[in-house]
Amino acid sequence: MHSSMSNHSRRRWIAVLVAFLAGNFPFSYSDPRIFEAGFLCGNAMPPPNTSYIQLFVRAMEVISQQVTVDRRGSYAVNSTNISVYVLAQCHDDLSKDDCLQCYAAARTRLPRCLPIVAGRIFLDGCFLRYDSYSFFNESVSPLDKTNCSTPLGAASAVESEFARNFGDLADRLTASAVVSGGYAVRENKGVFGLAQCWSTVPREACRACLVKANKQIRECLPQREGRALYSGCYLRYSTQKFYSNQSNESNSNSGSSRRGIIVAIALSVLAFCLLSLFAGYAVRRRWKKRKQEHRNLKQILFTYNKSSLSFKYETLEKATNYFDPLRKVGQGGAGSVYRGTLPNGKTVAVKRLFFSTRQWVDEFFNEVNLISGIEHKNLVKLLGCSIEGPESLLVYEFVPNKSLDQYLFDRNKVNTMSWNERYNVIVGTAEGITFLHEGLESRIIHRDIKSSNVLLDENLDPKIADFGLARMLGADKTHLSTGIAGTL
């Protein structure tokens, strides 16, 4: 209790101090410019049976690391049937913090395009795009467009003067950006502009992109604001200053007073101290939590290694020929199922789970330990699991005739069943469910009974699958629940 009160008191005084400083000293204005200027999805879908989403996630993880370090990044992930190319970049005038905020906003919105294999989003401070081909050197494309805002609302003479001012600005802005490595900002008589080429675009391609954007954006006149959203560059003008000061502008604040410098240094030192205090507290808490998790994990792994349910990951990997796609026999919401042959010649079904083992290894192993003891002629037998490898695996007895839905819904009528066989499946499935409800000390409510979860053995006798991760209920508990479960 004393520690809790001490922490609460410390946080309260720090909040008061920060509020005092905020009220007495000027802080710089920050704007990550996350207004969505353009959003575009393609129309092509990935080939069937490809792990496109996993490739997309892997590419985004790398891009996020690159942006964190260098404010930009480009990366490609290739597989047999499909590739993912990703490009991200912040405008050069953004601070690192604003860049990360802008990228985070773009990264959150862009997946609205999935599973389509192409998408791009222009925010006013950054750009993010993915596609199935290498577009890194691409400067223009048929999908390029302009985005114009509200009219100027002035007389024609004023409109004409505004257009001339913008024309002078745009020409100088384009030339400056090409010379200075793909970025420039300028102002001309109340018109402000920014030009930015993406870092993967060569210099001549940058010039071609900005020249075309310069020509196209003039169609926005006499609007107050216009943006050219191109594959290789971004061009914007406005009657309001929207960018941050950079070295290629005249710096009117170069003669800042010594008092301002001292205040800035003092605030920096204070901020560093506060951050160090909180960081030290957070690191200590995380260290203690990880230490406890490691202790719990060692206990579970000790019990697991002594259990007959333990399978080595390498053994199951070799048994399935390293998860050969030709050995894949099923796909469910929890994972993929492969046919495997153990060293003793026994054929088994191995399910690769989509979940993280570190967070739920305790609960997962305890449930496997419990379910593995359940035996019934109409239930698929759980033989064991592997939890020490890079992913969690479940090992089941192999049922050769696949699932009931392939007999009921086979359009080609290759697999058919007689009425006697159908009746046998109905009765066997009912007996399996009854055993789960009434034949155990703790009832199991499957909550996802469907034809694809009823497997058929060599005699077309039914076996209920996928009850291993169902909810365990005591004998005095009801199965009624307000939660949603099963298959949509």
Q: What is the pLDDT of residue 31?
A: 78
| H or E element at residue 259 | helix 258-306
Q: What is the pLDDT of residue 400?
A: 92
How far is the C-alpha of 119 from the C-alpha of 113, rounded, in Å?
Answer: 6
Quick one: average pLDDT of 371-384?
87
Q: What is the pLDDT of residue 486?
A: 57
User: Quick check: 414 pLDDT over 80?
Assistant: no
CATH level 2 (architecture), domain 145-238? 2-Layer Sandwich (3.30)
pLDDT band (50, 70, 90) for residue 444: confident
Enumerate the β-bridge partners of residue 330: 337
Q: Please calculate the CA angle 438-442-445 and round it to the nearest 5 degrees.
A: 70
Q: Which residues contact 446 (CB under 8 A, 6 or more apart)?
A: 433, 436, 453, 464, 466, 467, 470
Long-range contacts of 22-27 (CB under 8 A, 24+ apart): 25/263, 25/267, 27/267
Q: What is the pLDDT of residue 430?
A: 97
Q: Catalytic positions, please?
A: 448
How far is the C-alpha of 389 from the C-alpha of 383, rounded, in Å?
Answer: 17
Domains 36-131 and 145-238 share a fold: yes
From 242-251, 274-283, 457-466, the region with the lowest mean pLDDT = 242-251
Please choose, from the candidates 176, 24, 42, the residue with its C-alpha nearest in 3D space to the C-alpha of residue 112: 42
Tens-digit pLDDT profile for residues 149-199: 766 554 455 677 888 888 889 989 999 999 999 999 999 888 999 999 999
Q: What is the pLDDT of residue 51?
A: 83
User: Quick check: 393 pLDDT over 90?
Assistant: no
| H or E element at residue 78 | strand 72-78
pLDDT band (50, 70, 90) for residue 345: very high
Quick one: average pLDDT of 276-282?
83
pLDDT band (50, 70, 90) for residue 390: confident
Q: What is the pLDDT of residue 294?
A: 55
pLDDT band (50, 70, 90) for residue 433: very high
CATH level 2 (architecture), domain 308-473? Orthogonal Bundle (1.10)
Q: Please calculate the CA angle 144-147-148 and round it to the nearest 5 degrees.
A: 145
pLDDT band (50, 70, 90) for residue 23: very low
Q: What is the pLDDT of residue 379?
A: 93
Q: What is the pLDDT of residue 109?
A: 92
User: Quick check: 81 pLDDT over 60?
Assistant: yes
Tens-digit pLDDT profile for residues 266-277: 888 888 888 888
User: Quick check: 12 pLDDT over 70?
Assistant: no
Q: What is the pLDDT of residue 287?
A: 79
User: Quick check: 461 pLDDT over 90?
Assistant: yes
pLDDT band (50, 70, 90) for residue 296: low
User: Quick check: 356 pLDDT over 60?
Assistant: no
How far is the C-alpha of 35 from the C-alpha of 91, rounded, in Å?
Answer: 14
Q: Any idea where the domains of the chain sit in the sequence? A: 36-131, 145-238, 308-473
From 35-44, 341-350, 473-482, the region with the lowest mean pLDDT = 473-482
Quick one: average pLDDT of 111-139?
94
40: helix, strand or coil: strand
User: Quick check: 473 pLDDT over 80?
Assistant: no
pLDDT band (50, 70, 90) for residue 260: low
Q: What is the pLDDT of residue 334?
A: 67
pLDDT, the chain, mean: 81
CATH number given to 36-131: 3.30.430.20
Structure tokens given for 263: 């205040």
Structure tokens given for 140: 């223009």
Q: What is the pLDDT of residue 269?
A: 85
Residue with the two structure tokens 């392939």? 406
pTM of this structure: 0.47
How far is the C-alpha of 5 from the C-alpha of 11, rounded, in Å?
Answer: 10
Most confident residue range from 46-55, 77-86, 406-415: 77-86
Strands in 149-282 per DSSP E: 183-188, 191-197, 225-229, 233-238
As a three-state string, the secondary structure of 121-162 is: EEECCEEEEEECCCCCCCCCCCCCEEEECCECCCCHHHHHHH
Q: What is the pLDDT of residue 474?
A: 47
Of 153 and 146, the structure prediction assigns the larger pLDDT to: 146
User: Quick check: 346 pLDDT over 70?
Assistant: yes
User: Quick check: 136 pLDDT over 90?
Assistant: yes
Q: What is the pLDDT of residue 480?
A: 55
Quick one: average pLDDT of 408-435?
90
